């Protein structure tokens, strides 16, 4: 049951094949068994069971709220959840319990979803590995998969199995790991520079970044106001579309959400791609791209072409400057957004009482890690009067050029762009930490952050396993507010490539009952 | 930073902080001076904490300097991708509130319905030197 799609489980719930409480308990049990992944910071067991009981009552009366009623979901720990600790994996907010729900959380709860817990991330969502939070790094479930382990046995013998575990990517690594390990059906992440798509690619799940302005940011602890977007992680494209349909729409509490009416949509099944034009940005073919990812990217392009789509090379000339531009704009907005953490109204407060300035400074020193402090200081540098024009405003101008590049490409008849999501498959933690956070972010965000600067929708879809048995995902980028079209193309692709299901041995040995149910009578989908 | 003088006890002598500056960059990009460090620490209310942090800032600046190569003549800065749309403004009606108690619960130091802050302008060296004189001028 845990391996099914949202629609299948929803149908099973309606038909009484499984109850929300059973589903909840299985997920909770799996969360406990996979605790070593460190995907969750807080597991809201009591809350989830209570929600499950209420959902069960609704199903008994035949009044289910919709496709998400009774479905276990997880939320990244930088979304405010009323009554549940929200830490952003930082000492600054450790122990902070918000008095309200983020709009997207509220929407999920209003649909009857069961909140399993808050997932782990890089501190304040700054990072590309989910390794820099105070609760420790998140481990990629694929490190423990049969597919990966078998390939490793061929290479090395007698090595300590756990010492070389792989990162999940970041910063929504906890959410990606939670979905990948079947502990929930969908998870919320956030995406500022690729933070949802990057871990999705490394963990073999679907990671959707909706168009900026489509989904409310109210309650998402902000990093970069002009680029942040709540992200959706699921095991298949259809599920992502279902969740998007629920989350999208104008929110009076977030004035940057568009006012155009938005309705939940069902993804059409595309059969004929002959009218589709796929663009391949040539500047994304960088020397750092691993040959395996490059060959899969080629293979994907050929797949579209062989089925009749038009596949053309396009140019995004300012690509090489986008990471620099992002670096300046991101640190500048961060410097501003982090100013709210002064210890007075919420969050950590130091013991110093000499003066406000002393108190603020010590609180912030104790509350933030090096990465956050580094970005605040860089941002303040770029915002100094003498630097403002040359750095901040300059970056804003370059941002326009980058956004324009995309507009030009889409105006020339391209429907969707196809690019890699990451440079390579997930790497071992020991290798990842050899470079500092900023360097890693600059490398890993290469393909993903230009999309945030232009506010476009993008989705990472797992394509195939690498020669090491690890997932590789590819990214589709769509026109602004054409999320439905983007997902339709992604769904077509997903069906063609048939990405394999992760085989988690640890779990299979203990929880064979979970997977045995797969063989039982099929569920009728209406 | 002067804060450390207060709660750690002065570790370094007054000259010790000058160790936190950088050598002139051969490519001619910004040198991070002790003055700049102090200035940034005061603005950000976050301290560098180590020579490594200063080195990281230098790298960040050098990285950002690459933007100079882009020709942005005649290009307007872009503040938001939604610049072609009107920002939504709510009507000026009170629809929520009365949650003082909930909000006060999150603070560490509260007296009745007040958040308690220590006194401001408590005469640290740099504050005396700069801010008070500026205030007097206004």
Q: Which of A55, A130, A143, A171 is catalytic?
A: A171
Is residue A171 annotated as a catalytic residue, yes or no?
yes
A30, A38, A61: which is closest to A515 by C-alpha?
A: A30
Burial letters A366-397, b for 16+ CB under 10 A, else e: ebbbbbbbbbbbbbbbbbeeebeeebbbbbbb
Provide the domain limits for residue A489.
6-152+163-272+457-513
Is A236 a domain residue? Answer: yes
A471, A319, A493: which is closest to A416 by C-alpha?
A: A493
Distance from CA of B86 to the nearest CA of A (A): 9
Q: Are A187 and A75 in contact (CB under 8 A)?
A: yes
Distance from CA of B138 to the nearest CA of A (A): 20
How far apart (Å, rounded) are the C-alpha atoms in residues A2 and A14?
16
Q: Are A78 and A125 in contact (CB under 8 A)?
A: yes
How far apart (Å, rounded) are the C-alpha atoms in residues A485 and A237?
12
As given in the structure block, the two tokens for residue A477 are 């980028």
Tally the domains of chain A: 1
Nearest to B67 among A324, A357, A368 (CB): A324
A219, A167, A127: which is closest to A39 by C-alpha?
A: A167
As given in the structure block, the two tokens for residue A254 are 């977030």
Along the 526 residues of chain A, how does pLDDT read in single tens digits? 888 999 899 999 999 999 999 999 999 999 999 999 999 999 999 999 999 999 999 999 999 999 999 999 999 999 999 999 999 999 999 999 999 999 999 999 999 999 999 999 999 999 999 999 999 999 999 999 999 998 888 766 555 557 789 999 989 999 999 999 999 999 999 999 999 999 999 999 999 999 999 999 999 999 999 999 999 999 999 999 999 999 999 999 999 999 998 887 889 998 899 999 999 999 999 999 999 999 999 999 999 999 999 999 999 999 999 999 999 999 999 999 999 998 899 999 998 888 888 888 889 999 999 999 999 999 999 999 999 999 999 999 999 999 999 999 999 999 999 999 999 999 999 999 998 887 888 888 889 999 999 999 999 999 999 999 999 999 999 999 999 999 999 999 999 999 999 998 765 555 444 434 443 334 444 3
Is residue A263 annotated as a catalytic residue, yes or no?
no
Is A231 a domain residue? Answer: yes
Compute how many other C-beta atoms are within 10 angstroms of the C-beta atom of residue A495.
Answer: 13
Give pLDDT, residue B124: 53
Give pLDDT, residue B13: 36
Longest dimension (CA), chain A: 72
Distance from CA of A193 to the nearest CA of B (A): 15
Mean pLDDT of B134-138: 44
Q: What are the CA-CA distances from residue A53 to residues A29, A76, B92 (Å)?
A: 17, 24, 40
Q: Which of A130, A180, A195, A466 is catalytic?
A: A195
Cβ of A255 within 8 Å of Cβ of B109? The answer is no
Nearest to A354 among B88, B90, B118 (CB): B118
CATH number of the domain enclosing A108:
3.90.1300.10
The pTM (predicted TM-score) of the whole model is 0.90
Residue of chain B minimizing CA distance to A364: B46
Is A442 a domain residue? Answer: no
Chain B residues within 8 A of A354 when measuring between CB atoms:
6, 118, 122
**Interface contacts A/B by beta carbons within 8 Å:** 190
Nearest to A394 among B6, B72, B108 (CB): B72
Is A102 a domain residue? Answer: yes
Distance from CA of A281 to the nearest CA of B (A): 19
Long-range Cβ contact pairs of B64-69 (< 8 A, separation 24 or more) = B64/A324, B64/A327, B64/A328, B64/A382, B64/A391, B64/A395, B65/B29, B66/A321, B66/A324, B67/A321, B67/A324, B67/A325, B67/A328, B67/A391, B67/A394, B67/A395, B67/A398, B68/A390, B68/A394, B69/A321
Is A318 a domain residue? Answer: no
Give pLDDT, residue A156: 62
Q: Are A30 and A185 in contact (CB under 8 A)?
A: no
Tell me the residues of chain B between 75 and 114 that have a Cβ less than 8 Å away from chain A. Answer: 75-82, 85, 87-90, 99, 102-103, 105-109
Is residue A190 annotated as a catalytic residue, yes or no?
no
CA angle, A264 as apex, A212 and B85 as ends, to 5°?
A: 35
Contacts of A358 (CB under 8 A, 6+ apart): A352, B3, B6, B7, B118, B122, B124
Is A247 a domain residue? Answer: yes
Contacts of B57 (CB under 8 A, 6+ apart): A374, A377, A378, A381, B32, B40, B48
Chain B residues within 8 A of A367 when measuring between CB atoms:
none
How far apart (Å, rounded) are the C-alpha atoms in residues A511 and A217?
38
Is A199 a domain residue? Answer: yes
Interface ipTM: 0.86
Nearest to B107 among A335, A346, A400 (CB): A346
Interface-testing mutation among B67, B85, B96, with chain A (most A C-beta atoms within 10 A): B67
């Amino acid at each position: 049951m845990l391996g099914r799609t949202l629609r299948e489980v929803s149908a099973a719930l309606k038909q009484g094949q499984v109850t929300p409480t059973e589903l909840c308990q299985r997920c909770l049990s799996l969360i406990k068994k996979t605790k070593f992944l460190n995907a969750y910071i807080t597991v809201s067991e009591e809350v989830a069971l209570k929600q499950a009981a209420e959902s069960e009552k609704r199903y008994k009366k035949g009044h289910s709220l919709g496709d998400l009623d009774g479905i276990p979901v997880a939320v990244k720990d930088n979304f405010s959840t009323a009554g549940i600790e929200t830490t952003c994996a930082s000492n600054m907010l450790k122990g902070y319990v918000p008095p309200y729900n983020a709009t997207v959380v509220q929407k999920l709860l209003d649909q009857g979803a069961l909140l399993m817990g808050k997932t782990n991330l890089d501190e304040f969502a700054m990072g590309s590995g989910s390794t820099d939070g105070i609760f420790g790094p998140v481990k990629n479930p694929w490190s423990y998969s049969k597919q990966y382990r078998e390939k490793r046995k061929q290479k090395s013998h007698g090595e300590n199995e756990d010492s070389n575990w792989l990162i999940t990517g970041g910063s929504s690594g906890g959410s990606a790991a939670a979905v990948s390990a079947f502990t929930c059906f969908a998870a919320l992440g956030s995406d500022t520079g690729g933070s949802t798509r990057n871990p999705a690619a490394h963990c073999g799940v679907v990671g959707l970044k909706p168009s900026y302005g489509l989904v409310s940011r109210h309650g998402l602890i902000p990093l970069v106001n002009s680029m942040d977007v709540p992200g959706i992680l699921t095991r298949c494209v259809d599920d992502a579309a279902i969740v998007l349909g629920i989350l999208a729409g104008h929110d009076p509490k977030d004035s940057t959400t568009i006012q155009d009416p938005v309705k939940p949509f069902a993804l059409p099944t595309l059969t004929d791609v002959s009218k589709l034009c796929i663009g391949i940005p040539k500047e994304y073919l960088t020397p750092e791209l691993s040959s395996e990812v490059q060959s899969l990217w080629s293979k994907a392009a050929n797949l579209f072409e062989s089925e009749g789509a038009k596949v053309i090379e396009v140019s995004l000339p300012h690509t090489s400057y986008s990471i620099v531009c992002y670096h300046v704009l991101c640190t500048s907005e961060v410097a501003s957004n982090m100013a709210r953490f002064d210890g007075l109204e919420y969050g950590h407060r130091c013991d110093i009482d000499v003066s406000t300035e002393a108190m603020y400074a010590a609180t912030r020193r104790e509350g933030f890690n090096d990465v956050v402090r580094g970005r605040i200081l860089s941002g303040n540098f770029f915002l100094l009067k003498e630097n403002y024009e040359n750095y901040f405003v300059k970056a804003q101008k370059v941002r326009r050029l980058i956004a324009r590049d995309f507009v030009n490409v889409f105006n020339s008849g391209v429907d969707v762009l196809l690019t890699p999501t990451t440079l390579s498959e997930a790497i071992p933690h020991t290798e990842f930490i050899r470079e500092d956070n900023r360097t890693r972010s600059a490398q890993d965000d290469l393909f993903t952050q230009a999309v945030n600067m232009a506010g476009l929708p993008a989705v990472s879809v797992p394509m195939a396993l690498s020669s090491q048995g690890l997932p590789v995902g590819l990214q589709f980028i769509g026109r602004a507010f054409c999320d439905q079209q983007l997902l339709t193309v992604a769904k077509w692709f997903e069906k063609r490539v048939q990405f394999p299901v992760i085989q988690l041995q640890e779990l299979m040995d203990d929880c064979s009952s979970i997977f045995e149910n797969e063989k039982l009578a099929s569920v009728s989908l209406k | 930073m002067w804060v450390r003088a207060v709660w750690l006890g002065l570790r370094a002598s007054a000259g010790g902080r000058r160790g936190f500056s950088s050598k002139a960059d051969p490519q001619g990009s910004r040198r991070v001076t002790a003055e700049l460090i102090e200035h940034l620490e005061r603005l950000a209310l976050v301290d560098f904490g180590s020579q490594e942090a200063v080195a990281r800032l230098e790298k960040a600046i050098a990285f950002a300097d690459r933007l100079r190569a882009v020709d942005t003549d005649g290009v307007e800065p872009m503040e938001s991708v939604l610049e072609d749309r009107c920002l939504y403004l709510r009507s000026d009606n009170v629809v929520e509130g009365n949650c003082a108690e909930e909000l006060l619960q999150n603070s560490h130091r509260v007296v009745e319905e007040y958040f308690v802050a220590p006194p401001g302008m408590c005469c640290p060296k740099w504050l005396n030197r700069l801010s008070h004189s500026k205030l007097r001028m206004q």
